[in-house]
Amino acid sequence: MRVETNVKLASRNRSIANYLFLATLVVLIGGFFFINSSIFASETVDPTLLILQVLVLPVTFIMTLLSIRMTNLWARPPRPENVLPEALKGISKKSVLYNYYHLPVRHLLICPQGVFAIVTRWHDGTFDVQNDQFITRINPISRFLSALRMDGVGNPVADAQKAAAHAQKLLQPFAPDVEVKPLIVFVNPRVELNVESGSVPVLYADGKRKPSLKDYTRDLYASTPESRRSIMPLTEEQIAAFEKATLPQT
C-alpha cells in the first residue's frame, strides 16, 4: 500500500498546538504576576490594569480550549497516520491511503474493496454504540470535565458521513460512478467498543480485536467475486488525475 501523508501540515499543526499550550501558561502566569505586582506597587489603581486583570481569565480559557482542540487533533498519540497503515497491513499493494490532504476528509483510502473516508477517534474508555449513538460509561464528574474541555467523542457518524460526502464531490470529476463509504476507526488500544447497531461501521485499529479494520477489509475482499478481487475502483489514470488536482505538485 502506498501512503501519502501531508507531513508539512501535520508538523505545522503539532507545533501550533505546542506553542498554544506554552502561550497559555505564559499569559496566565505572567499576566497574574505582572498585574498584581503593579497594583500592589502603586498607591493608586490604574483602571487599565483592572481591565487587563478581568480579561486574563477569559483569554486564557479560550486559549486553553484551542490548545486542547489542536492537541487532540494533531499531537495526541497514537497518531492515526501511523496507526492506519499498520492496521491495513496486508491490503493490496495497489491501495493508496491519503492522510490530511483532503480536509475535512482526514483519511481517504482507495483499495480494491472500495473507496473509504475514514474518521478516527483517539478516545479510550468504554463506548456502547446503539443506533448511531455513542454512550460513554463514565461518572458524572468525568462527564462534566470532558464537556468543559470539549474533548468528548462528538458525533462520529455525522462526521464520517460528511467526510464521505465531501470525498464523493472531490472524486466526482474523475470517477463519477464510484461510491465513497464512511468508516469510523478508534486508534487507542485501551478503548472498549460494544457495537450493537449503526449505519456506519465502527472498528478497532488493533487487528487483534473485533470488529477491526483489518477484518472488515478482509471480509469485503472475501465477499468480492474472484474475478474482481484485484480490480481497483479507480484506474491508475484516474488516481493520477485525482492526485494532480488535489495534492501539491513537487
Q: List C-alpha distances in Å: 23 to 31, 36, 43, 49, 105.
A: 11, 19, 31, 20, 29
Do residues 41 and 98 share a domain?
no
Burial class of residue 236 in the structure, from the number of CB atoms within 10 Å of its CB (0-12 exposed, 13-18 middle, 19+ buried):
exposed
Do residues 146 and 66 share a domain?
no
Q: Which of 24, 40, 74 is the last residue in one of the domains?
A: 74
Do residues 34 and 130 share a domain?
no
* Cβ pair 143, 133 in contact under 8 A: no
Pairwise pLDDT comparison (66 vs 186), residue with the higher score: 186
Query: Residue 54: is its pLDDT beyond 80?
Result: no
Do residues 51 and 174 share a domain?
no
Q: How far is CA 116 from the centre of its chain?
A: 15
Band (39; pLDDT cuts 50, 70, 90): low
* Cβ pair 66, 21 in contact under 8 A: no
Do residues 95 and 52 share a domain?
no
Band (34; pLDDT cuts 50, 70, 90): low
Percent of the chain at pLDDT above 90? 66
Do residues 145 and 200 share a domain?
yes
Q: Summarize pLDDT for 191-200 with one digit per residue, the tens.
A: 999 999 899 9
Do residues 32 and 84 share a domain?
no
The CA distance from 41 to 24, in Å, is 25
Q: Summarize pLDDT for 94-142 with one digit per residue, the tens.
A: 999 999 999 999 999 999 999 999 999 999 889 999 999 999 877 777 7
Query: Residue 90: is its pLDDT beyond 60?
Result: yes
Structural domain including 93 reads: 80-246
Do residues 200 and 138 share a domain?
yes
Band (181; pLDDT cuts 50, 70, 90): very high
Do residues 107 and 230 share a domain?
yes
pTM above 0.85, yes or no: yes
User: Looking at the 3D structure of the chain, how many domains does it have?
Assistant: 2
The CA distance from 120 to 202, in Å, is 10
Do residues 84 and 67 share a domain?
no
